[in-house]
Structure 1
Amino acid sequence: MALHSFTRPSDFLDAAREMAGTGRPTLARLLAEEAADRTPDPDTAARILAEFPGRTLKQED
């Protein structure tokens, strides 16, 4: 099993796509939300979330 380093938004986005492709939409959405949060451009962040539709799954503090 390969270990992944998650340091860039693209790392989270790649993982989200992988999870979506293997039938794990909830995990894909969470990873996409993290990618969007780490993306400085709001338009790009919105496009990321649009690729993985659904309501937010993050818990508020």
Structure 2
Amino acid sequence: MAPLNFNRPADYLDAAREMADSGRHTLARLLAEEAADRTTDPAEAARIRAEFPGSSLRQED
């Protein structure tokens, strides 16, 4: 199995969907937030966050 590379927002989004499908909703939300942050289009970022509802799980310093 080839190692996963996370170079694009779509990579994070694919991983988020995979985690959601396997019941790992917290990890899915974190990956979706990262995908949204790496997306340059604000409307697309909002759509990604809406696909994985809930409040942010990040702990900012």
TM-score computed with the length of structure 2 as normaliser: 0.95
After the TM superposition, list the runs of 4 or more consecutive aligned residues in structure 1 that deviate by more than 3 angstroms.
none
In structure 2, the residue matched to 1:60 is 60
Where does the alignment leave 5 or more consecutive residues of structure 2 unmatched? none
RMSD: 0.9
Aligned length: 61
* CA displacement at 1:32 relative to structure 2: 0.0
1:7 Cα deviation from its structure 2 partner: 0.5
Find the counterpart in structure 1 of residue 12 from structure 2.
12
Structure 1 stretches of 5 or more lacking a match? none
Give the share of equivalent positions with the same residue, in percent: 74
> In 2, distance between residues paired with 1:48 and 1:23?
18
Offset, 1:60: 1.0
